[in-house]
Amino acid sequence: MNEIQTELDDRQGRSIERMRSVSKALSDASRRARFSSRSKQAFSGAQGLRRRARERIIRLVLLVLVVVLPNIASIGYFGFIASDQYESIAKFTVSSGALPKMDDLGSATGLPPMAIVQDTMIVVSYAESQALVAKLQDAIDLRKYYSSDKIDYFSRFNAALPIEKFTNYWTRRSSAAVSMPSGIVTLRVRAFSAADAKTIATAVVQQCEAMINQLNERMFKDTVAASERDLQLAGEALKSTRVAYEKARNAEGVFDVKEESKNLGTLLTQLEGQLLTMQSEYATRSAYVAADAPQMRLAAQRIASLKEQVKGVQNRITSMQQQGDNGALSQKLSRFANLDLEQKIAEKRYAQASISLNMARIYSERKMLYLHTVEMPAEAEEPRYPRRVLTIGLVLLGSILAWFISIGLVGLIRRRLA
């Protein structure tokens, strides 16, 4: 019994010992777990502090680059450096010397005729062209007004650059626009003094007017040249018909058969000459005098009377020669009548060409296009540009907006990479 009791006590002691060992192991494991959790929390907290510090640095750098520096530059330039710019305004219209005729579009909308609109747009295009810049350079030395050392560096033009660059610079310092339906062209010119702006704007108006005069001269020079060519061709045609008439008369000897026939032929020639003269005068006057005027009606009656006389003489010659020559002379006179008709047509064509040439020369002595100045350029009392407060405010708002956008983009990239 004692041995059994002793063995039980040993087993119980070993069990208690194992339980103590397990309890100690659990206690050690729990202690290690608590220590590991505290270490991780401490490490995670340190990482968060470093990340927030980096974000603050990035925001600060972006603030300086996107907001502070641009606004310092904006305030410094527009507040203390930028040169004042003065604006001079001129208004003018382009009109025709002829009485205005409304086209279909103008009748429906009340707009000026299309021809006037086209001429106006030609002037507007010319006001922004390199050709105008070259003319202004020759007339007033345009570059000196924009290349002075008194102008700030960013607004000043480098006089050594070619005219193409200067034309681009000029289009930023001037503008021309058409107001519809009045057709008034508003010209705006900016310079770095009020007197310079007025001088340049006045020169631009003068050059536009000179261009209009050149258009007039070129237009009528072409018209007169075309009329002269028509007159020359008509003269050659008239000369050829007269030569043919003379050759036929000399070949046939129609007016030498009998003395009476000769006398009648002479009378017929005189009457036809008078008739052609009066017809030419009538055609010339009809371009300037109404057809129902008293002098025109009287001239028409005289022409009709001469025609009747010519017809009577021709009938007498035909009747006489038919009786004495079995109708041979009648055939010859018929041929002469055809030649005479061709000659009359040529004479009328020549008279009409002469009238057209005279009219072209008359119109060439007066303008068909005019440039009417509605408002002359004047000196501005205060600078219009740059708009300092507005520009500085816009830069401030834009930089703040850009700063917020850049911060959002940085945060988005960080979350994508995390």
- Mind listing the pLDDT tens digit of every residue in the chain (418 residues)? 555 556 655 666 666 676 777 666 666 666 665 655 555 454 445 555 676 777 788 888 888 999 999 999 999 999 889 999 999 999 999 877 554 444 444 444 444 445 567 778 888 999 989 999 999 999 999 999 999 999 999 999 998 999 999 999 999 999 999 888 788 999 999 999 999 999 999 999 999 988 888 877 776 777 777 777 887 887 888 788 877 777 776 665 554 444 556 677 777 788 778 878 877 777 777 766 666 767 777 777 887 887 888 787 777 777 666 655 545 555 665 666 677 777 788 888 878 878 877 776 666 655 567 788 889 999 998 988 888 999 999 999 999 999 999 888 887 887 777 5
Distance of alpha carbon 124 from alpha carbon 64, whole angstroms: 46
CB 225 within 8 A of CB 358: no
Would you say 271 and 331 are in contact if contact means Cβ atoms under 8 Å apart? no
Q: Quick count: other Cβ atoms within 10 Å of Cβ 304?
A: 11
Three-state DSSP state, 73: helix
Helix or strand or coil: residue 119?
A: helix
Nearest to 169 by CA among 177, 178, 160: 160
CATH of 85-219+371-384, one of 3.30.1890, 2.40.10, 3.40.50, 1.20.120: 3.30.1890
| Residue 315 tokens, joined | 């009938």
Burial bucket for residue 328 (CB in 10 Å: 0-12, 13-18, 19+): middle
Closest CA to 189 of 151, 111, 136: 136
Q: Largest Cα–Cα distance in the chain? A: 201
Q: Per the structure block, which two tokens stand in for 168?
A: 């681009």
pTM: 0.57
Taking the chain, what is the end-to-end CA distance rounded to the nearest angstrom?
74
Provide the edge-to-edge strand list for the sheet that holds 86-96: 174-179, 184-191, 86-96, 369-375
Give the pLDDT of residue 278. Answer: 78
The full DSSP string for 222-274 is: HHHHHHHHHHHHHHHHHHHHHHHHHHHHHHHTGGGS-HHHHHHHHHHHHHHHH
Q: Which amino acid is at 159?
A: A
Strand partners, 92: 185, 373
The β-bridge relationship of strands 369-375 and 184-191 is unpaired
Residue 258: per-residue pLDDT: 45
State the pLDDT at residue 192: 95
Degrees, nearest 5: CA angle 160-161-166? 120
CA proximity to 371, closest of 114, 181, 96, 130:
96
Contacts of 201 (CB under 8 A, 6+ apart): 88, 89, 90, 187, 189, 377
Rounded to an integer, what distance in angstroms lies between the CA atom of residue 37 and that of residue 336? 136
> Domain ranges in the chain?
85-219+371-384, 224-369
